[in-house]
């Protein structure tokens, strides 16, 4: 349990959480190794896990008719995968594939939502960090669309 608590404490998403918050999260977090090429999430599937990347890269993809999948973002070491677990209906909005062999801290989404509701400081931290992730992903997607389709600002 201390190993997971320490891994959470060293991950940028959880930086600044107090010992109580880290201990709460460690109780429902496990380490997961994913080989390159494995799907981490599929559009429409139940989003029941929040992934914090410890090592490796993942591609976030969207699909459009008559086109190859478009990688709209790459998630790197120290970043997180997913916000769908936080927002109802808790379904993945994108496909996510491991581009490299990865190590992740996987947090049970239902338990994380319950912990956030019970501890408002923890809940604020998670919501604030997720808002930052969403803003960065929207900006990255905008840049990707400009590069590919020549869409002006």
For the record, the structure tokens of 75 come out as 């998630």
Q: Which top CATH class is 2-149? A: mainly beta
Q: List the chain domain ranges.
A: 2-149
SS3 68: coil
Would you state the pLDDT for residue 142?
Answer: 76
Alpha-carbon span 116 to 109, nearest angstrom? 10
Task: Tell me the pTM.
Answer: 0.89
Record the tokens describing residue 51, joined without a space.
Answer: 């992934």
pLDDT per residue, tens digit, the chain (153 aa), is 689 999 999 999 999 999 999 999 999 999 999 999 999 999 999 999 999 999 999 999 887 777 777 777 899 999 999 889 999 999 999 999 999 999 999 999 999 999 999 999 999 999 999 999 989 878 877 776 777 676 655
């Amino acid at each position: 349990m201390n190993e997971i608590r320490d891994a959470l404490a060293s991950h940028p998403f959880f930086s600044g959480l107090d010992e109580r918050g880290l201990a709460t999260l460690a109780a429902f977090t496990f380490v997961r190794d994913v080989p390159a090429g494995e799907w981490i999430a599929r559009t429409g599937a139940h989003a029941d896990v929040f992934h914090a990347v410890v090592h490796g890269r993942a591609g976030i993809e969207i699909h459009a008719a008559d086109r190859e999948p478009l990688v709209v973002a790459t998630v790197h070491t120290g970043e997180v995968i997913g916000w769908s677990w936080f927002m109802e209906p808790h379904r993945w909005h994108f496909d996510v594939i491991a581009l490299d062999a990865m190590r992740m801290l996987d947090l049970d989404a239902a338990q994380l939502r319950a912990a956030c509701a019970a501890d408002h400081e923890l809940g604020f931290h998670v919501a604030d960090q997720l808002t930052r992730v969403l803003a960065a992903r929207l900006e990255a997607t905008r840049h990707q669309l400009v590069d590919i389709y020549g869409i002006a600002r």
